[in-house]
Amino acid sequence: MYGAYNSRDRTAALAHMDSEVIWDFTEAPDGLLYRGHDEVTQFFAMIDEVWETLQIEVEAQEEHGDVVVSEVRVKGRGRQSGVEVQHSETHVWRLREGRLLEGKTFLDRAQALAAVS
């Protein structure tokens, strides 16, 4: 999913997600929750509008049964400002039949790992 996301192939990224996907950013600055392919598609459109570039680099990944924890570095450049930013996030994904079903973005790794326990 991250490779498709980075290449802005939104159709391929969605193919890795269950149709009932929930992507929870309530711990992140935008504080939003996206449900289903339609809302995730709206999220992708917002990202494309705001960011000239936005890449997710996976630094580490662990599996815990049907849960995957991805430690990532997010790097981007604002479309209007040209300002480059980067920060670390931890994504916790629960899978159903090999597809991403529920994901939550954490800015604090310890909180992410506690959510898995």
pLDDT one-digit tens code per residue, 61-71: 999 999 999 99
pLDDT of the residue at 92: 97
With 90 as the cut, is the pLDDT of residue 57 above it? Answer: yes
End-to-end CA distance of the chain: 24
pTM here? 0.90
Q: How far apart are CA 38 and CA 57, in angstroms?
A: 25
Residue-wise pLDDT tens digits, 35-52: 999 999 999 999 999 999
Q: How far apart are CA 25 and CA 44, in angstroms?
A: 13
Mean pLDDT of 106-117: 90
The domain segmentation of the chain, as residue ranges, is 2-51+61-72+89-116
Give the DSSP letter of residue 45. H
Contacts of 117 (CB under 8 A, 6+ apart): none
* CB half-sphere exposure, 41, CA atoms < 13 A: 9
- Give the CATH architecture of domain 2-51+61-72+89-116: Roll (3.10)
